[in-house]
Amino acid sequence: MKPTLELKPLTIGNVSIGFPIVQAALSGYSDLPMRLIARRHGASYTLCEVMLDQFLLSLTKRQKTKHFLDIHPDEPPVGGQLMGAEPEQFSAGAVKLVEAGFNIIDVNFGCPVKKVLGRCRGGFHLSQPPVAIEILRRTREIVRDSIPVTVKMRRGIDDSNQARDSFFEILDGAIDAGLAAVTVHGRTVKQRYNGPSRWNFLSEVKQHVGDRIKILGSGDLFSAADGLRMIQQTGIDGVTIARGAIGNPWIFSQSRALAADAPLPPPPTLGEQADVMREHFSLSEQTYSPERAPMIMRKFYIKYSQNHPEHEIIRAMFTKLRSREEFEAVLDKHYPADRPGRYVPNDLYRAQSE
């Protein structure tokens, strides 16, 4: 698809993002290595995995988990995302994220995981606008002015009219509290990942807010053309690529090419893919340890295998590997430098989420 609109560079508060197609927060994935690889492939902004306020408050520098707060010098702007139940703890957690060096603080009102909802966190807040707005107010108050505060929401807790009213109440509360942007995932909390993300809802949200706050869209962005199409169809200010970016950082460079009215670049050759996978592995070894990296890299390599013409065979191999040497052996044997790759099929996740 050729874009027929000029993409406006994105700013969030006083942070200049630029290209409005960015990388979403992805628990279990968007760690320093994935974010840095995305940045190197054209993502103008990335978000870390969601962190619990309680976890942040208990964290010490020596702990094994401190990598959650690691930021590479080449990363900024990078967003830190926060989840919690109590307004007071929440804002204390936000301070920790600012101290760690995150450039934007994002509040999570979207997580649909049962355990999270049961503890009144994440998407649960969409059912209690007064508490949700209190969290946004307090977070905005405690974080210094130069750091923008944003929020991620699903389009409601469910499909009821009340859920819709609550969404808009929180949206207006976010504007009043001085937030800089809202990311809207066009699925309900109840829907989890089943069925399509409702893009029409994003148009309604944009019409409702006008220029009072930036709106980023999320949901079903699996190819380079999808992000541009979402901006074009809905009039929103930017989009966050989520599942479509796992094992496919090329989605960002491809999006940039399409936005510049250039042809879609060919899929990365197997040699180019292997280079990026090796780079990702090395970053993971540095971030965690050489011992932990292989198990962490498995899930990424499984996703990278989608770019290989014989993806089913390659995927099956990656699921069993235990050491860097074993991964290297597969790359040496099955990723010859000049062999073309394939585009990740656009319906890969759509099929899984139906």
Ligand X SMILES: Cc1cc2nc3c(=O)[nH]c(=O)nc-3n(C[C@H](O)[C@H](O)[C@H](O)COP(=O)(O)O)c2cc1C
Q: Single out the catalytic residue among 111, 116, 283, 331.
A: 111
Instruction: Name the residue nearer to ligand X (CB basis): 287 or 346.
Output: 346
- Least distance to ligand X, CB of residue 204, Å: 18
Q: How many CB atoms lie within 10 A of CB 12?
A: 25
Instruction: Name the residue nearer to ligand X (CB basis): 119 or 334.
Output: 119
CA distance 231 to 258: 13
> Is 111 annotated as catalytic?
yes
CA distance 42 to 21: 9
CA distance 258 to 67: 35
Which residues of the shown chain bind ligand X in the complex (CB under 6 A)? 24-28, 49-50, 81, 108, 110, 152, 185, 197, 218-221, 242-244
User: Which ranges of 101-249 would DSSP assign to H, the alpha helix?
Assistant: 114-118, 129-142, 161-177, 199-209, 224-234
Give the residues across from 108 on adjacent strands: 152
Cβ-contact 290, 282 below 8 angstroms = no
Q: What are the binding residues?
A: 81, 152, 185, 242-243
- Least distance to ligand X, CB of residue 329, Å: 28
- Least distance to ligand X, CB of residue 307, Å: 17
Give me the residue label for tokens 């969404």.
167
Instruction: Name the residue nearer to ligand X (CB basis): 97 or 331.
Output: 97
- CA atoms within 13 A of residue 55's CA, in its CB half-sphere: 16
CA distance 73 to 191: 38
- Least distance to ligand X, CB of residue 197, Å: 6
Instruction: Name the residue nearer to ligand X (CB basis): 185 or 335.
Output: 185
Q: What are the binding residues for FMN?
A: 81, 152, 185, 242-243
Residues taking part in catalysis: 111
